Amino acid sequence: MPARPIRVTFVCSGNICRSPMGHVILERLVDDAGLADRVAITSSGTGDWHVGEQADPRTIEVLAEHGYDGTGHRAREFDVTEFDDLDLVLASDEGHVRFLQRAAGTPHNRAKIHLTREFDPTAVAEGTLETSDPWYGGEPEFARCFAEVERACRGVLEHLEQQLADEPSRGADSGRPSPSGRT
């Protein structure tokens, strides 16, 4: 019987800018790697301001400029009851990490929480682990955010491929630290 898919979720504030970028990008990378049946990806926001809405038009635009389709995204609020079913919770910034840590309920669930950019070796080396929030900006800010998220997603994919290669131990080790060593 095949193992259940690894469940990954991206979290930002309203689920219309940063986390949908991560969701759409990682979903495509996972699909391109032939792992779509082994990894399930979602995204959500810490607040309910945009529930049911599409991603910000600027998010959809920057994704489209790079060959990604974000038009199917609908914002949702993070559901704390999902923690037990998740393997990797990727927060956009430290505020989201604090929110998620308070909501996690157990040390095991808190160990699943990481900043998205922890998976980008350049961001780790530079100490810039928060994903820049493009909300109050324009095209340059959305382009910068996209670049940060896409680089991180490539690192997340490598991390997932390693977890899948170590499949027998995955169930017992789903909360292991990210490449940056942050727990």
Catalytic site positions: 12, 18, 133
The structure tokens 């219309």 sit at 16
Q: Which residues of 52-79 are buried (b: 16+ CB within 10 A; e: fewer)?
A: eebbbebbbebbeeeebebeebebbbbe
Spell out the residues 6+ positions from residue 179 whose beta carbon is closer than 8 angstroms to its own: 118, 119, 121, 124, 155, 159
Instruction: Tell me the residue type at 124.
Output: V
